[in-house]
């Protein structure tokens, strides 16, 4: 399963859970081993707080689940072959409930407002980093703001962050999820500015 399919599937699953919510921020992490991660921050109409929605299964594990589903479709309960293994993942994808791989937590109103302010100040400041010569290690991080005219930052995790406030926001979200007892692999960057992170 390629990364674009994975991210689209997770986005569609999260969208069906909160119809009408405004998408504030998306974060995609894609590494060379399929340990991808996906996160969305969204706000429901009339609410001051925000939801942090994130995937709990990367592309590599999802590939295994799809293979398992395909095996079940062509074998009976005794393990006897009764049909042909699907030639395409499309039908398997359409039968998979990706909502089962989505979790969410809630940001309070003060943190949500700070997030909106930081993103609003950087609207329209797109950034695309260069892929390193040794791209077999590390991961590509793509952050997209959906506020105002929007902004998109895409860079390799081994590079310096293109924006210190952006890096602080990402680490703040990672710490927030870690405090909730969830493993978060989105942000493998050293914190660029401890004071800035503490401000968030």
Pairing of β 50-55 and β 139-145? unpaired
- Which secondary structure element, helix H or strand E, spans residue 102, and what is its range? strand 102-107
- b/e sequence 178-190, b meaning 16+ C-beta within 10 Å: eeeeeebebbebe
Question: Do 54 and 136 form a contact (C-beta atoms < 8 A)?
Answer: no
pLDDT tens per residue across span 50-86: 999 998 888 777 777 777 777 777 888 888 888 877 7
pLDDT of residue 195: 34
State the chain's mean pLDDT as an integer.
79
DSSP letter for 21, please: P
Asked if pLDDT for residue 168 goes beyond 80, the answer is no
pLDDT tens per residue across span 92-137: 777 778 888 888 888 889 889 988 988 888 888 888 877 777 767 7
More confident call, 30 vs 179:
30
- b/e sequence 127-136, b meaning 16+ C-beta within 10 Å: eebeeeeeee
pLDDT of residue 165: 66
């Amino acid at each position: 399963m390629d990364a674009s399919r994975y991210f689209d599937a997770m986005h569609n699953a999260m969208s069906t859970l909160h119809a009408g919510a405004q998408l504030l921020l998306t974060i995609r992490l894609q590494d060379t081993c399929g340990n991808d991660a996906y996160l969305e921050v969204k706000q429901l109409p009339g609410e001051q707080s925000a939801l942090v929605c994130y995937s709990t299964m990367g592309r590599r594990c999802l590939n295994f689940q799809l293979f398992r589903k395909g095996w079940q479709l062509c074998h009976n309960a005794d393990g006897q072959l009764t049909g042909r293994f699907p030639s395409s993942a499309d039908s398997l994808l359409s039968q998979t409930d990706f909502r089962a791989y989505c979790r969410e937590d809630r940001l309070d109103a003060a943190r949500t407002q700070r997030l909106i302010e930081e993103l609003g100040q950087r609207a329209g400041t797109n950034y695309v980093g260069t892929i390193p010569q040794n791209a077999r290690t590390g991961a590509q991080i793509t952050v997209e703001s959906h506020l105002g005219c929007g902004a998109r930052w895409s860079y390799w995790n081994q590079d310096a962050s293109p924006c210190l406030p952006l890096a602080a926001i990402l680490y703040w979200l990672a710490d927030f999820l870690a405090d909730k007892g969830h493993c978060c692999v989105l942000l493998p960057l050293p914190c660029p500015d401890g004071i800035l992170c503490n401000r968030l």
